[in-house]
Amino acid sequence: MAQPRAAKKLQGHTPLIHGALELPSVLVDDYNNETRERGQFVGDKANKGAFQEKLHHWRKVLRDYGDDPLGKTLTNTVSKKKVDALLESKNVSDVALAMATIEDFSRDFADVITKFMAFKAWAKTERIVVGGGFRESRTGEIAIARTMMILRAGGLNVDLVPVAQHPDDAGLIGSVHLMPAWMLKGHNAILAVDIGGTNIRAGIVEFAREKHRIVDASVRDSDIWRHTDDEPSRSAAVERLADMLNTLVSNQGKLKLAPLIGIGCPGIVNPDGAIERGAHNLPGGNWESDHFNLPTAITKAIPCIGGHETFVMMHNDAVVQGLSQLPSMGDVSRWGVMTIGTGLGNARFTNREPA
């Protein structure tokens, strides 16, 4: 885990620390775990690429004696929609193709979780929320359920549940749980950003609270930019993000926006907002440079919200997506999140006692 560089104290309140391990409602015991096995990340056995490799294998087997329902080209990445369609097919070979892929992936995913649970920071994890784009398909939901069956059969007593919201929304909603308690009063919404290797999303998240805790949140308005289509420079990407946020501010209506922008991004985030490592898929330049700080760039572009100085809080994207599930985690103490995408995002939490 990255060591603190600096902590900025704001207006007499507690320091604002990006990538904080102590948040208002949880302790972040671990995130962006990069443990390797035989030179490869442990999590690489359970990402989108791993699923595609297994699908590729079973398509080759099927071609030896029958027709491949997914087309003539084996090298193409197959969409979630097409794999889901196999499950609904009247052709039993089509269904068998999908089920064989799901079974192989689920066994590897169960192996990855077993290895994570052996880490000290993940010990005694009671529930793991599974998010990322893979989760939003029927195929993904079946794989999650099958993985839990395999884990239980192997004696590992952990619940696996799909992230409740659409993953796109979850990546924004979790930002409300980064907000310090002193900023809640008088506000019912924040700006949130989810930066990924393919898309950048920005939105307004409305929240409801009881005392000093947020109990519900939802995305009221949002915008998405598929930056891979434009291949922008880093500075152009930041400028486009600032435009998206300013448009959202102008459309806030009667919502009372807090002067805070929550950002989720890949990698390890230092306390001063610099990205230590893990941001290599972000658009148009070195986001890990010592001469670049995203929170500072966004604050400069949007210096105030509602007449108040803008603050930015940034954390790892898997942490943020996991935090979206916080209101439904009151019945457990130790829980985690794994997001299945280009990589396997991960974070482990321990709930804090209510203030």
Angle made by CA atoms 342, 151, 320, in degrees to the nearest 5: 40
Determine the structural domain holding residue 180 and report its residue range: 172-324
- Give DSSP secondary structure letters for 87-119: HT-SSHHHHHHHHHHHHHHHHHHHHHHHHHHTS
Please give the Cα distance from 192 to 190 (Å, whole number). Answer: 6
187 lies in the same domain as 283:
yes
Q: What pLDDT score was predicted for residue 12? A: 43
Q: Supply 302's token pair.
A: 């949007």
Q: Tell which phi-psi region holds residue 103, choosing left (phi > 0), alpha (psi between -120 and 50) or beta.
A: alpha
81, 138 Cβ separation under 8 angstroms: no
User: Three-state secondary structure along 288-326?
Assistant: CCCCCCHHHHHHHHCCEECCEECEEEEEEHHHHHHHCCH
Q: How many CA atoms lie within 13 A of 237 on its CB side?
A: 26
137 lies in the same domain as 263:
no
Among 327, 185, 313, smallest CA distance to 256 is for: 185
The model's pTM: 0.91
> Is residue 64 domain-resident?
yes
Please give the Cα distance from 279 to 270 (Å, whole number). Answer: 13
- What are the per-10-residue average pLDDT scores of the chain (355 residues)? 40 69 95 89 92 97 95 88 97 97 98 96 97 92 97 97 92 93 86 93 93 85 94 94 95 92 95 91 89 94 92 96 95 97 94 80
269, 295 Cβ separation under 8 angstroms: no
Q: What pLDDT score was predicted for residue 85? A: 97
Q: Report the number of distinct structural domains present in the chain.
A: 2
238 lies in the same domain as 194:
yes
163, 324 Cβ separation under 8 angstroms: yes
> Is residue 40 domain-resident?
yes
121 lies in the same domain as 177:
no
> Is residue 286 domain-resident?
yes
